[in-house]
Chain A
Amino acid sequence: MSDYMIEFVNVTKRYGDIVANEHITLQIKRGELMTLLGPSGCGKTTALRCLTGHNHPDEGRIFIDGQDVTDLPTYKRNLGMVFQNFALFPHMTAFENVEFPLRIRGLSQSERREKVVEALKLVRLEGYGSHFPRQLSGGQQQRIGLARALVYRPSVLLLDEPLSNLDAKLREEMRFEIKDLQVRLGITAVYVTHDQEEALALSDRVAIMNKGRIEQVGTPEEIYERPGSQFVADFIGLSNFLEGTVTAVEGETTYLAVDNLSLGLATTAGARVGQRVLAFVRPNEVELAAPGTMSGPEVLEGVVEKMTYLGDKVDYRLRLGDRLMLRVQSGGTVRFKAGERVAVRLPMERCRVIGGGKA
């Protein structure tokens, strides 16, 4: 038995000149929820369709449960899928929709009945079997879609932006419901979204996609804390990028010239003087204080250009030196107004270096 439930091996898919998937290699473990996350058009749906068999890859192989399924038609792959637009059968009731895969599999009527009732209970829609899809709300339709995808215990559950047609509150509720179901059933799942919050909340691991390629694969914490590229740091959460040249390395501290400012960073292995470096810091990791109240290599001074009150936090746009703009978010009350001077501390251990910086 293979360790991996799903394997993409060097999969490439083109539409004419567009390379929608480029050399995708990805392994998904048994019982794991893997999210494909990336901006619109980066090839998430394409990758999922290669997995379902609706697309045939131009290059590469795809394995499900150790079996090469690249040339297997969709209906033989034993997959369950939840669609963005629900894709329920409009001429069937909720009960019949959930029953459909069982009917196809030739189960007896009593078996079907038992399993459908159980699946409807699983998604908390016991009383809705006789409703037609058009008589159900979006959230209810999507739960029926979920029940239909799970009722035959497929080897893999696929979800392509299943929540994006629902309102914000329902989206958050169902997020946990889906996660809970996936864990309870121990089913391997591939979840497609462009919502980073959803991805972080749900996933065991996340694959960040950009322009048809996979940029980084890791746990939510890994990709948030240690992004492997500027793209990932930018896409996951808010980031300030600090690009500069190493001027000196003194023990624990590396000094960086960013524009005409000097900034101290925690030293990473292999930092050399003269090297171009790209570091980033999150807006909520930066500390602000009255000018002159903080000192050290990681403290700079700046001016508040713009202050926006956001309720639970305050968003500041600061100008450091001549050109460097810094975004800072701090909780609580408004402490500085536009035009005021502030001291800015960029904590050394929070300013992390990405790769070797841009060329």
Chain B
Amino acid sequence: MMCAMTLVRQYARSVLSAKTLLVYSFLLGFLLYMVTPFLIIFFNSFGKGWYGMRWLPQEWTLNWYQWAIEVADIPEIMKNTLVIAGIAVVISTLIALPTGWALGRRHIPGKELLTALILLPRMIPAITFALGVAKIFYGLHLVDTFLGVALAHVALAAPYAILVLSATFESLDERVLEASAVCGASPAQGFFYVILPLILPGILSSIIFTFTTSYNEFTMTLMTYGPHTVTLPVRTYLAVGEGYWEVSSAMAVILIIPSLFILFLIQRQLQPEKLVGGFKGV
């Protein structure tokens, strides 16, 4: 009897470990699936003569980066990209602060419908939306201006910002603000000592989301850019079209540097769960 029990237990344990193994192999497979393209681009950007079935390039070189910087004018294009992202962040935040406040703290009839409408630009296919925007912008002479491209990005970035900020403002406890007043804090002191520290993480995550949205945006830029407003994603795409695989790989690597930097910032300063929590199921 005793023996049978032990056997059963051992069997259970082996099944368990098989399960664990399965989970790990799935995770590993997924990780490979995600990382492999990065690795290929990375090697491609530093390698020479990497064709056919080789595991690694024959030779290592920095030529492609030199080309990207000197011939394709990447520093200028990076500047465009960052300026456009900056403008998009400022405009999105300015729109999202009052809108998020209204959605998060007031009882507005038809709130659900409003939220759905705000999300509309994110729901319909980007190319459809971008076409419409382009048509309007041609009429307004906004094509090939920093403001124009940034505004096109705002349509996609602001909904994120509004959702994050309205969740942030919604979680502000009225009674905590009342407590600060009873403690003797004037409205201004209450704002700086209590409200601001409580909403700062939300504002930061909203800024990060809008920034990355604009920085990574491709479709909306493609329909609104011009010679003066080429951004890094678009330039990378164009380089592929021109047949320079290695140079576009170098650009692609440069493209991810700021994203990595932001990821590092998020890891250090904010808990990612908190940022995602801000979405409340969206």
Contact = CB atoms under 8 A, between A and B. Distances in A.
B182 A80 contact: yes
A132 interface: no
A104 B176 contact: no
A85 B182 CA distance: 15
A52 B183 contact: no
A90 B176 contact: yes
Nearest to A101: B183
Interface string A298-329: 00000000000000000000000000000000
A152 B179 contact: no
Interface residues of A, number: 28
A52 B182 contact: yes
Contacts of B185: 75, 100, 104
A74 interface: yes
Contact of A87 (B176, B190, B198): B176
Contacts of A81: 179, 182
Interface string A95-125: 0000011011100000000000000000000
B176 A105 contact: no
Given A81-B179, A85-B175, A91 B184 contact: no
Contacts of B179: 81, 83, 87-89, 148
A27 interface: no
How many chain B residues sit at the interface, stated as a range, is 10 to 19
Interface string B169-180: 000010110111
A87 B178 contact: yes
B193 A74 contact: no
B176 A89 contact: yes
Contact of B181 (A75, A83, A91, A149): A75
Contacts of A89: 176, 179-180, 194
A79 interface: yes
Which of B173, B180, B181, B186 is the most central at the interface, judged by chain A CB atoms within 10 Å of its CB? B181
Contact of A75 (B175, B186, B197): B186
Contacts of A83: 175, 178-179
A87 B180 CA distance: 9
Contacts of A90: 173, 176, 198
B193 A100 contact: yes
Contacts of B176: 87-90
B193 to A, nearest CB: 7
Nearest to B175: A87
B178 A78 contact: no
A54 interface: yes
A148 B184 contact: no
A74 B182 contact: yes
B183 A148 contact: yes
Contacts of A148: 179, 183
B189 interface: yes
* Secondary structure class of chain B's binding surface, majority of residues: helix
Contacts of A87: 173, 175-176, 178-179
A104 B189 contact: yes
Nearest to B176: A87
A58 to B, nearest CB: 20
B203 to A, nearest CB: 14
A98 to B, nearest CB: 10
A152 B178 contact: no
A77 B183 CA distance: 9
A148 B180 CA distance: 10
Contacts of A101: 183-184
Nearest to B181: A74
A85 B183 CA distance: 16
A240 to B, nearest CB: 41
Given A83-B175, A85-B175, A87-B175, A105 B180 contact: no
A103 B193 CA distance: 10
A78 B184 contact: yes
B57 to A, nearest CB: 51
Nearest to A53: B181
Given A89-B194, A100-B193, A79 B182 contact: yes
A74 B181 CA distance: 6
Nearest to A100: B183
A91 B196 CA distance: 11
A89 to B, nearest CB: 6
B197 A104 contact: no
Contacts of A105: 184
Contacts of A78: 184
B198 A91 contact: yes
A83 B197 CA distance: 21
Contacts of A74: 178, 181-182
Given A87-B178, A89-B194, 16 more contacts: A52-B181, A52-B182, A73-B181, A74-B182, A75-B189, A76-B184, A83-B179, A87-B173, A87-B175, A88-B176, A88-B179, A89-B180, A104-B184, A104-B193, A105-B184, A148-B179
28 contacts: A54-B178, A54-B181, A73-B181, A74-B182, A75-B181, A75-B185, A76-B184, A80-B182, A83-B175, A83-B178, A83-B179, A85-B175, A87-B173, A87-B175, A87-B179, A88-B176, A89-B179, A89-B194, A90-B173, A100-B193, A101-B183, A101-B184, A104-B183, A104-B189, A148-B183, A149-B182, A152-B183, A152-B184
Interface of A: 52-54, 73-81, 83, 85, 87-91, 100-101, 103-105, 148-149, 152, 158
**A-B pairs with lowest CB-CB distance, top 3:** A101-B183, A74-B181, A87-B179
